[in-house]
């Protein structure tokens, strides 16, 4: 589904990523873990087109999507969420998800300003589909609330609902459990499994080991910009190199 | 009652009030002021699409207004082109100019965008002053013909009022429609988080240029209307001060609020009439207003009213 081949990225003299390669199989959950500064978020930013890499390629299915901007990647079925939750704060929860349907609709400025019949029909579809995604993530009762007034945990769910609304094939989540309490993390785990169950591939960067070991089919470990290990959660837990990296044994 | 139904009722009530106003002001010089309020509302709404919706500043919008006025003026007085045709030509020309400069300019953000649009405004202002053969230079251009519809000539305060306000109301209606649509949401999304908007598939760069173009085009239309109703134009009306005044209107009324733009335009047009004693100090008063508003009422008057209404409601419930 998604393959990264020999990704290298330097910031000035600092090498953030070096020769990182791995494959993500369709309909699986892959976790990318590693100590702080290992390059996890940088890898995500490259895969989703926010940064350009210095070397290496990103393939989505068979297609080379290296350096493609995010607004095109979402049309090809790849979408992401952010570590710091990037919501449209002044818009309602429902409107946020409606923006998620941007690529699934096509009315332009002219037909929107004149409310042409096609645009009205499309607007109805957008609204009902957005509501469906709010129900899917369990926040339909918050539809009319302004997003900046949401509690953090609900904001996370909203961001996921908005991403799902674009009907992706693959969703990349950057630390979805950060800042969540244990009950919220448990329901997040259920949601992630449900997303996989509906045929969407999931990749997550995560610090919460319990969550990673619970939901992931494959785990990739990064350390100091290199891939340290890759395997099932059990293999990773028993890998001496990984244990050393996490315990700070240089 | 759904939001869409409420929107229609509010707009209908606003239209009625606009239509009825001249009957109350018959023979009063204020009618002429209300013509200006109409033009300024149109300009403020146009700028609001860019500033309030998409969150992109322009300190050069007076230039688009001026270009519309001068293109209309030059085409009708020098080439004897029919005023309605001149108006369409002016709007299209300015739209093309905005589209072309929009691509490089709107790559800039924040202060840099403010500086670039400011620079554009100043360049255009200098052109108005220096190309004397075309524009008449600082002393202006007169004898611009009135618009006419068959036997009806728009040459009195009363006819001008209705002419201007038909265009203003139409601009307001289309902008209200736009606010609650796919494009309106995408614009507001850009305002709140550009990166998230991109990730959701909004072509941020193109959409910014498109709304900049639409905003400039409406401003040019207002400029043409201004030229044909006043029949005289001079560069002083299209300088930096007026660009700042437009931004002040939008902010005082409330970013993103169409009726707010009307309120802001009305206040800033009426204010000088009541503050004639302070004449040369008006720019200072605008500056003070802007500072006070952004400090204490960042949502503008409309935002302030909404907060007040919410507070009263809470108090009643408590």
Q: Nearest Cβ partner of B181 from A75, A89, A107?
A: A107
Q: Which of B180, B201, B211, B257 to mutate to test the interface with A (most CBs of A within 10 A)?
A: B201
* Residue in the block written with tokens 């800039």: B108
Question: For residue A70, which residues of chain B lie inside 8 Å, CB to CB?
Answer: 195, 198-199
Share of chain B above pLDDT 90, in %: 76
Domain count, chain A: 1
Inter-CA distances, B13 with A116, A178, B2, B161, B309, Å: 23, 49, 17, 18, 20
Q: Nearest Cβ partner of A88 from B174, B193, B210?
A: B193
Is pLDDT of B125 > 80? yes
Burial class of residue A171 (count of CB atoms within 10 Å of its CB; 0-12, 13-18, 19+): buried
Percent helix / strand / coil, chain B, rounded to 5: 80, 0, 20
CB contact under 8 A, A109 and B197: no
- Cα distance from A162 to chain B (closest Cα, Å)? 8
- What's the rounded Cα separation, in Å, for the pair B151 and B17? 27
Q: List the structure tokens of A55.
A: 């070397």
Size of interface A-B (CB pairs under 8 A): 99
Q: List the structure tokens of B278.
A: 């302070």
Burial class of residue B242 (count of CB atoms within 10 Å of its CB; 0-12, 13-18, 19+): buried
pTM listed for this prediction: 0.93
Q: By the CB < 8 Å criterion, does B182 face chain A?
A: yes
Inter-CA distances, B216 with B108, B212, B307, Å: 18, 6, 32
Rg (CA), chain B: 20
Instruction: Report whether A91 contacts A99 (CB < 8 A).
Output: yes
Q: Which of B196, B213, B257, B300 to mutate to test the interface with A (most CBs of A within 10 A)?
A: B196
Q: What are phi and psi of B204, to 5 degrees?
A: -55, -45
B254 — pLDDT class (breaks 50, 70, 90): very high
Instruction: Report whether A218 contacts A231 (CB < 8 A).
Output: yes
State which H helix or E strand residue B59 sits in. none
CB contact under 8 A, B193 and A123: no
Q: List the structure tokens of A197.
A: 């169950």
Q: Nearest Cβ partner of B186 from A69, A75, A99?
A: A99
Q: List the structure tokens of B218.
A: 């409406």
Question: For residue B306, which residues of chain A lie inside 8 Å, CB to CB?
Answer: none
Burial class of residue B19 (count of CB atoms within 10 Å of its CB; 0-12, 13-18, 19+): middle
Q: Give the other-Cβ count within 10 Å of A186's Cβ.
A: 15
CB contact under 8 A, B181 and A70: no
Q: Give the other-Cβ count within 10 Å of B78's Cβ.
A: 11
Q: By the CB < 8 Å criterion, does A103 face chain B?
A: yes
Residues across chain A: 250
CB contact under 8 A, B189 and A109: no
What integer is the mean pLDDT of A194-213? 92
Q: Which residues pair with A11 in a beta bridge?
A: A14
Q: What are phi and psi of A185, to 5 degrees?
A: -65, -40
Is pLDDT of A158 > 90? yes
State which H helix or E strand residue B157 sits in. helix B157-179
Using CA coordinates, name the residue in chain A closest to B178: A113
Q: Classify strands B148-149 and B152-153 as parallel, antiparallel or unpaired.
A: antiparallel
Q: By the CB < 8 Å criterion, does A125 face chain B?
A: no
For residue A243, what pLDDT is reported?
84
Question: For residue A95, which residues of chain B lie inside 8 Å, CB to CB?
Answer: 185, 188
Q: Which residues pair with A222 in a beta bridge?
A: A227
CA angle B93–B95–B96, rounded 5-degree value: 65
Is pLDDT of B112 > 80? yes
CB contact under 8 A, A79 and B200: yes
- What's the rounded Cα separation, in Å, for the pair B264 and B272? 13
Question: For residue B196, which residues of chain A lie inside 8 Å, CB to CB?
Answer: 82, 86-88
Q: Residues 231-260, chain B: which have Cβ within 8 Å of A?
A: 256
Give the 3-state secondary structure of B243-283: HHHHHHHHHHHCCCCHHHHHHHHHHHHHHHHHCHHHHHHHH
pLDDT digits (tens, 9 = 90+) for B141-199: 999 999 999 899 998 889 999 999 999 999 999 999 999 999 999 999 999 999 999 99
3-state secondary structure of B55: coil
B14 — pLDDT class (breaks 50, 70, 90): very high
Q: Cα dihedral angle (B108, B113, B119, B123), rounded to 10 degrees?
A: 70
Is pLDDT of B36 > 90? yes
- Cα distance from A243 to chain B (closest Cα, Å)? 35
CB contact under 8 A, A99 and B178: no
Q: Residues 256-315, chain B: which have Cβ within 8 Å of A?
A: 256
Is pLDDT of B114 > 70? yes
For residue A250, what pLDDT is reported?
45
CA angle B18–B303–B220, rounded 5-degree value: 50
Q: Which of B46, B107, B182, B211 to mutate to test the interface with A (most CBs of A within 10 A)?
A: B182
For residue A35, what pLDDT is reported?
84
Q: By the CB < 8 Å criterion, does A99 face chain B?
A: yes
pLDDT digits (tens, 9 = 90+) for B265-307: 999 998 887 777 776 777 788 788 888 888 888 888 888 888 8
Instruction: Report whether B73 contacts B282 (CB < 8 A).
Output: no
CB contact under 8 A, A105 and B174: no
For residue B2, what pLDDT is reported?
78
Q: By the CB < 8 Å criterion, does B7 face chain A?
A: no
3-state secondary structure of A164: helix
Rg (CA), chain A: 19
Q: Which residues pair with A15 in a beta bridge?
A: A10
Residue A17: which domain range? 2-247
Using CA coordinates, name the residue in chain A closest to B203: A71
Interface pTM (ipTM) of the complex?
0.91
- What's the rounded Cα separation, in Å, for the pair A100 and A88? 11
For residue A249, what pLDDT is reported?
54
For residue A248, what pLDDT is reported?
65
Q: List the structure tokens of A102.
A: 């941007």
Instruction: Report whether A107 contacts A122 (CB < 8 A).
Output: yes
CB contact under 8 A, B192 and A90: yes
- Cα distance from B30 to chain A (closest Cα, Å)? 32
Torsion region of A66: left, alpha or beta (phi above 0 gives left; psi -120 to 50 gives alpha): beta
Q: Nearest Cβ partner of A71 from B185, B191, B202?
A: B202
Q: List the structure tokens of B93.
A: 């020309």
State which H helix or E strand residue B239 sits in. none
CATH number of the domain encompassing residue A56 = 3.40.50.300
The DSSP letter of residue B52 is I
- Cα distance from B210 to chain A (closest Cα, Å)? 8
pLDDT digits (tens, 9 = 90+) for A229-238: 899 998 988 8
């Amino acid at each position: 589904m998604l393959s990264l081949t020999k990704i290298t990225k330097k910031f000035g003299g600092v090498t953030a990523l070096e020769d990182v390669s791995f494959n993500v199989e369709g309909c699986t959950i892959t976790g990318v873990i590693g100590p702080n500064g290992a390059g996890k978020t940088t890898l995500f930013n490259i895969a989703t087109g926010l940064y350009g890499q210095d070397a290496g390629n990103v393939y989505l299915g068979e297609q080379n999507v290296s350096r493609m901007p995010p607004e095109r990647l979402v049309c090809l079925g790849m979408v992401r969420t952010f570590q710091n939750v990037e919501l449209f704060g002044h818009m309602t929860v429902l409107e946020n998800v409606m923006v998620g349907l941007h690529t699934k609709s096509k009315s332009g400025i002219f037909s929107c300003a004149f409310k042409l019949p096609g645009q009205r029909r499309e607007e109805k579809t957008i609204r009902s589909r957005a509501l469906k995604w709010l129900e899917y993530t369990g926040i339909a009762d918050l539809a009319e609330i302004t997003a900046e007034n949401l509690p953090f945990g609900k904001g996370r769910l909203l961001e996921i609902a908005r991403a799902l609304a674009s009907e992706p094939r693959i969703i990349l989540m950057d630390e979805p459990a950060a800042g969540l309490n244990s009950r919220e993390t448990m329901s997040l785990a259920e949601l992630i499994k449900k997303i996989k169950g509906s045929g969407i591939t999931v990749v997550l960067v995560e610090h919460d080991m319990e969550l990673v070991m619970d939901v992931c089919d494959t785990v990739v470990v990064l350390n100091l910009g290199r891939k340290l290990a890759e395997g099932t959660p059990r293999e990773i837990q028993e890998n001496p190199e990984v244990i050393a990296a996490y315990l700070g044994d240089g | 009652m759904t939001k869409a139904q409420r929107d229609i009722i509010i707009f209908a009530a606003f239209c009625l009030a606009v239509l009825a106003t001249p009957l109350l002001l018959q023979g009063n010089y204020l009618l002429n002021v209300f013509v200006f309020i109409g033009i300024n509302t149109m300009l403020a709404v146009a700028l609001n699409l860019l500033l309030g919706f998409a969150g992109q500043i322009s300190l050069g919008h007076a230039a688009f207004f001026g270009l519309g006025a001068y293109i209309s003026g030059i085409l009708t007085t020098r080439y004897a082109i029919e005023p309605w045709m001149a108006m369409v030509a002016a709007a299209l020309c300015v739209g093309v100019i905005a589209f072309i400069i929009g691509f490089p300019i709107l790559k800039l953000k924040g202060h840099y965008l403010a500086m670039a649009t400011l620079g554009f405004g100043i360049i255009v202002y200098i052109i108005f002053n220096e190309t004397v053969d075309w524009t008449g230079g600082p002393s202006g251009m007169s004898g611009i013909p009135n618009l006419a519809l068959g036997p009806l000539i728009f040459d009195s305060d009363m006819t001008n009022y209705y002419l201007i306000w038909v265009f203003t109301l139409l601009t307001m209606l289309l902008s209200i429609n736009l606010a609650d649509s796919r494009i309106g949401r995408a614009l507001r999304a850009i305002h709140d988080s550009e990166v998230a908007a991109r990730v959701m598939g909004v072509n941020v760069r193109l959409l910014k240029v498109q709304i900049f173009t639409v905003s400039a085009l409406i401003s040019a239309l207002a400029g043409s209307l201004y030229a044909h109703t006043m029949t005289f134009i001079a560069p002083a009306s299209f300088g930096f001060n007026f660009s700042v005044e437009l931004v002040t209107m939008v902010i005082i009324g409330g970013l993103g609020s169409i009726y707010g733009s009307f309120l802001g335009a009305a206040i800033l047009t009426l204010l000088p009439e009541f503050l004639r004693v302070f004449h040369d100090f008006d720019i200072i008063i605008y500056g003070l207003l802007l500072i006070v508003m952004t400090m204490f009422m960042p949502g503008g008057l409309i935002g302030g009213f909404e907060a007040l209404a919410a507070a009263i409601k809470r108090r009643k419930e408590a």
